[in-house]
Homo-oligomer: A and B are copies of this chain.
Amino acid sequence: MTRVGTHNLHKIISPKSIAIIGASDNPDKVGHVIIKNNIDSGYGGKIYPININSSGTIMGYKSYKSILEVKKQIDLAVIAIPAEFVPDALEQCGRAKVGGVVIISGGFAEIGRIDLQEKVVEISEKYNLPVIGPNCLGVTDTRSRVDTLFLPTFKIDRPSIGGVSFAAQSGAVGSSVLDLIDSEGFGLARFFSYGNAAVVDEVDILDFLAKDKETKVAVFYIEGVKRGRELIKIARRCTKKKPIVIIKGGITEQGSKAASSHTASLAGSSEAYRAVFKQFGFIEAKDLKDLLNLSKIFTTQPLCTGKRVAIITNGGGAGVLVTDAIYNNGLELAELTERSNSELKKVMPKIVNVRMPLDMAGDADYSRFSSALDIVSKDENVDAIIAIALFQTPGADSKVASTLIDYGTKIKKPLIVLSIGGSYTKAHKSMIENGGVPVYDSPADAVSSLAALIRYSRYVNEENY
């Protein structure tokens, strides 16, 4: 099977004009919701509603009975009509020389209509037409503001502009992760929900994202890979240049069966996938939560030169749990230089026992955090820092948050924050994350994310993972 190249995904994700096939004045129709969402998102390009029963205008826009009637350059055509009518509409998109197509409609291989899906592939090949879907949510992009997701906007927190791109075979997984990006403190570049992957698949998207300047970290939820060799070929080229985080749905035999009825994906043993991920430098997420945890450390923190971690904390017990997690993850506590220790003794109050983890006591305020970060970040025996800021304590306030942002963005070593708590803590977590420093809410999550960054740094700097 010859495959469509990926050079044209740019027109799908950053279109200057879009046509919606299946547009309608009826607010219950998917085509209506998509146009409305593009208006709401502030999409700035042209919008052409297409409906075979069009009487001239739809939702205030001039409308057309067929895409062939538009007679202007259309970058992206979105198809949201019953499956049986999709091949004809796609044929017309090909003849109209559109830049790319998203087929929202379901009713193809996932319910056994392999014949219909094969027609989609044939037409795509005939016109060299990049097609996303069918059976998907499509795309959104924080810069072009195109938005083909047909979900009610009030149900999803739309993310701000950032460097993480996310591609999900499953629309449900895609939309729930999209909804979480904002509260997890990082921003989005591109979003692809690619469903049955009849034409454009994870290989094409990976190729596109690997070269994409807006994408600092590419994150994938996949259910199956049909073109393993190509995936590996691209991975060889890009995983040392850009972190690629991946989670495989259907990693167990039974999960894989569930995936095959869902997006008609082919199975593969979990061992095979994991071995490939590891060998070629993919960063495997263990769970959706992990995927978010990894996204935020990889998009904000620099690579790391070793595995010696300094802990500074305003709570002893949390320092103990982070220490446990450090050794459970194969990292180690940094041993500070003599010079650092004597400097710390000068600036810390007497009740502070100068050792790792550095328990600065429950009354530590921003100046104590600042002194400790200053000394520890300069220490040559320290590769990365975990700052535990428990905001229940009397000294922890927004000045501590701003101190953490200050050091977290200026030093050349990874710095992550652990803050556990309710509403006062969560308000400070948002402040710190808006300042560009990741905050975790559990010792295990914080350390396993840092451990992944350290493993990836070693992979980038050496031959082997």
Contact = CB atoms under 8 A, between A and B. Distances in A.
B324 A171 contact: no
A340 interface: no
A351 B320 contact: no
Interface in A418-465: 420-425, 441-445
A19 B294 CA distance: 50
A221 interface: yes
Contacts of A179: 392, 420-422, 424-425
B422 A180 contact: yes
Nearest to A448: B287
B321 A255 contact: yes
Contact of A317 (B173, B290, B323): B173
A226 to B, nearest CB: 17
Interface stretch (A7-15, A51-59, A353-361, A378-386): A353-361
A359 B262 contact: yes
Given A180-B420, A317-B249, A392-B176, A443 B288 contact: yes
Given A249-B324, A324-B249, A317 B394 contact: no
A390 B176 contact: yes
Contacts of A325: 287
Contact of A157 (B172, B319, B353, B422): B422
Contacts of A238: none
A306 B390 CA distance: 40
A215 interface: no
Interface in A248-264: 249-255, 257-259, 261-263
Contact of A255 (B156, B182, B288, B323): B323
Interface in A285-343: 286-290, 313-321, 323-328, 332-333
A134 B396 CA distance: 23
A175 interface: yes
A170 interface: yes
A424 B154 contact: yes
A121 to B, nearest CB: 22
A367 B405 CA distance: 48
A229 interface: no
A391 interface: yes
Contacts of A321: 173, 247, 249, 255, 287-288
A60 interface: no
Interface of A: 106-107, 111, 151-152, 154-157, 168-177, 179-180, 182-183, 221, 223, 247, 249-255, 257-259, 261-263, 286-290, 313-321, 323-328, 332-333, 351, 353, 355-357, 359, 362, 390-394, 396, 420-425, 441-445
Closest 4 CB pairs of A and B: A170-B317, A172-B315, A157-B422, A262-B316
14 contacts: A151-B392, A152-B394, A155-B391, A170-B316, A170-B318, A171-B317, A179-B392, A179-B425, A250-B323, A252-B323, A255-B321, A258-B319, A262-B320, A287-B445
